[in-house]
Amino acid sequence: MAKGKLAKFADMASYENVFEYPYSVMQNVPFAMKGHWHEQYFKNSNPIVLELGCGKGEYTVGLARKYTDRNFIGVDIKGARMWTGATQAVEEKLENVAFLRTNIELIDRFFTPGEVSEIWITFADPQMKKVTKRLTSTMFLERYRKILKENGLVHLKTDSNFLFTYTEYMAEHNGLNVLFKTRNLYNSPEATADNDFATLAASIQTYYESQWIDRGIDIKYMVFELPQEGALTESEKEIPLDEYRSYHRDKRSTKDTSK
Residue 125 falls in the annotated catalytic set: yes
Separation of alpha carbons 156 and 63, rounded Å: 15
Separation of alpha carbons 257 and 218, rounded Å: 12
List the beta strands (DSSP E) in 28-187.
Answer: 48-52, 71-76, 97-101, 116-122, 148-158, 178-182
- Say whether 62 sits in a helix, a strand or coil: helix
Separation of alpha carbons 163 and 66, rounded Å: 28
The gap from C-alpha 59 to its chain's centroid, in whole angstroms, comes to 8
- Catalytic position from the list 11, 125, 218, 242: 125
- The closest alpha carbon to 160, from 120, 205, 107, 123, belongs to 123
Query: How many degrees, rounded to 5, is the angle at CA 248 between CA 57 and CA 48?
Result: 25
Pairing relation of β-strands 148-158 and 116-122?
Answer: parallel
- Report the catalytic residues: 125
